[in-house]
Amino acid sequence: MSIEIAAAFSLDDLAVFDETRLRELIANVSGAVPPALAGRAFATDQPDRKALLADLAERIERALAPDARAAFALSRQQTVTAGERASAQSTMLDLLFWELTYWKTPDEYERLIAGEQVHMGALDFARVDGAVALDAGAGAGRVTLPLARRAHTVYAMDPAPPLLRLLECKLTSTGLRNVHLLRGAFRRVPLPDDSVDAVVSCSAFGPQEARGGQCGLDEFLRVTRPGGRIVIMWPEDPAWFVGHGFQYTTLPGHLSYTFPTLEDAWEIATRFYGAAAIQRLEATHRPELPFHALGVREPRDLCWLTVRK
């Protein structure tokens, strides 16, 4: 049986990002969309949507940092074939898939992570009881809520307003009043030096510059008091953190994606995980997906560091 995965987003959807985020997402840093590639994606007007794409391309161009703006503008002016443009668009949309999901379809993202349980034993390593903690890349608060139940104060920082709005609703309905929402990113944490006892980041921070990198780690070190802890939950590249003085630990147990119904699992797998996940559901007829079947480590490992200054 052949499985078709529908394209989730189109180029027009980039209009959802604000200027600050466009500047971060299309930049000459590792993990971001290369500006020349973005320029090729917008290189030739498509007659039926000319005005929108031209307006959007100009908005993007204005938002970019000077070096990125020059590369974007140059590449936009060059003649490309329809195939080259389509390929640039497809690569760019792939690179931005998760960001577009957070900004454009946050409810879909919520449905995905509702089935994706992360081991909260990591919070013990962050020593969060009674502490002031930063949840960096907090999203819609999968970690923020358990953290807020244990900490004195939590700063939940994220660049995506739609996810912060979801988190705000959850805080209202749970009555938790010790969480402050912050718009920010790893490389620009809007907190003073030595202002938190713990930084926690789950499935968000990574070595690439667009996901924090060295500059983001320096920000975490800056805002954490001496003796405080930085805990990276479910790290993508544990070796990088170990190379930066972190310890790596895997908590015991077993975790898998578990969805309320098979239909839910099917829909979410189709949108986010593609053929391997769908085949697995067809084989088992159970609303559960083991992480290993998707080639992903179970979310029960962490990298942690005690801050010394």
Ligand X SMILES: C[S@@+](CC[C@H](N)C(=O)[O-])C[C@H]1O[C@@H](n2cnc3c(N)ncnc32)[C@H](O)[C@@H]1O
CA-CA distances (angstroms) from residue 144 to 158, 200, 226, 271?
Answer: 11, 9, 23, 26
Of residues 21 and 76, the one with the C-beta less far from ligand X: 21
The CB-of-184 to ligand X minimum distance in angstroms stands at: 7
The CB-of-294 to ligand X minimum distance in angstroms stands at: 14
Of residues 57 and 112, the one with the C-beta less far from ligand X: 112
Of residues 18 and 58, the one with the C-beta less far from ligand X: 18
Residues 77 and 54 sit within 8 Å (Cβ to Cβ): no
Of residues 72 and 234, the one with the C-beta less far from ligand X: 234
The CB-of-68 to ligand X minimum distance in angstroms stands at: 16
Query: Helix, strand, or coil here: 236?
Result: coil
The CB-of-299 to ligand X minimum distance in angstroms stands at: 8
Of residues 43 and 198, the one with the C-beta less far from ligand X: 198
The CB-of-269 to ligand X minimum distance in angstroms stands at: 17
Furthest-apart CA atoms within the chain: distance in Å: 60
Q: By CB under 6 A, name the binding residues for ligand X.
A: 102, 113, 137-139, 142-143, 158-160, 163, 185-186, 202-204, 211-212
Tokens of 108: 């879909």
CA-CA distances (angstroms) from residue 174 to 106, 145, 149, 179?
Answer: 20, 9, 10, 12
Q: In the bound complex, which residue of the shown chain has the CB atom lying closest to ligand X?
A: 139
Q: Could you give the angle at which helices 97-104 and 82-95 cross, rounded to 10 degrees? A: 70
